[in-house]
Amino acid sequence: MKSKSRLVSGIALALVALTSPAFAKDRGYEAQVSAGGGVTGFITDASDQTKVGGAWDVRVRLRTPLPIGAEIGYVGTANGVSDRMAVNAPNGIILGDGVEVNAVLSLLPHDPLVDPYVFVGGGYTRFSLVNETTFNSSVIRNKDNAFVLPSGAGLALRLTNNLLADARFTYRAVFDDGMIFLHGPGADAINMSQWGATARVAYAF
């Protein structure tokens, strides 16, 4: 019984040590929690049917002793319909809610102040038509689920030991989308891939 109690106590102490910021930083690990916003828009055919809108995100990034790390984030977007789509959904706003996981490669991994990086990953986005009760369902759906592949580049600046400013540009390729149909019955939906330019403030542990 005593040996079992000691084992449990040892595991608990190890977990405390591993999750300690001081322990992690001594070994080259750092966790960053960030939140911010910016602008986003659709590309190709969807850009003619919508307006440039707002974007917001919350992310947790893990930096490691190696140049490559990882992050997970929630991403939200909101784009109103343009005059071309207004006849089908006069007051509509296409709201996006998604989760993505990215691999992040630091280009200057040993620089303590400047961190240019590139990233690529995968995730899920749910598009919803909001602010609209009457719409042409043969042209625009009220919701859609899609697989996304985000990629892009960014720059983080360390302002203090724990505070960072971060900006990035993202191209978010969208697959299996079925939100807007412009070419008649039986035709595929138009591509809903997005671009985004965002900035955020991060706190490092």
Look at residues 150, 148, 146 and name the one whose alpha carbon lies nearest to residue 179: 146
pLDDT at 70 (0 to 100): 98
pLDDT at site 177: 85
Give the C-alpha separation, 72 to 79, whole Å. 23
Determine the pLDDT at residue 6: 56
Please answer whether residues 141 and 104 qualify as being in contact, where contact means their C-beta atoms are separated by less than 8 angstroms.
no
Q: What is the mean pLDDT of each run of 10 residues along the chain (205 residues)?
A: 53 47 64 98 94 98 96 98 94 97 95 95 97 92 96 98 97 93 82 97 96
Longest dimension (CA), the chain: 75
Are 193 and 171 in contact, with CB atoms under 8 Å apart?
yes
Query: Hey, which CATH number is domain 29-204, 1.20.120.420, 3.40.190.10, 2.40.160.20, 3.90.1150.110?
Result: 2.40.160.20
Q: Where are the domains of the chain?
A: 29-204
Contact 37, 46 (CB under 8 A): no
In this prediction, residue 46 carries a pLDDT of 95
Phi, psi torsion values for 22, nearest 5 degrees: -65, -45
Q: Please tell me the predicted confidence (pLDDT) of residue 47.
A: 96
pTM score, whole prediction: 0.84
Q: State the pLDDT at residue 112.
A: 87
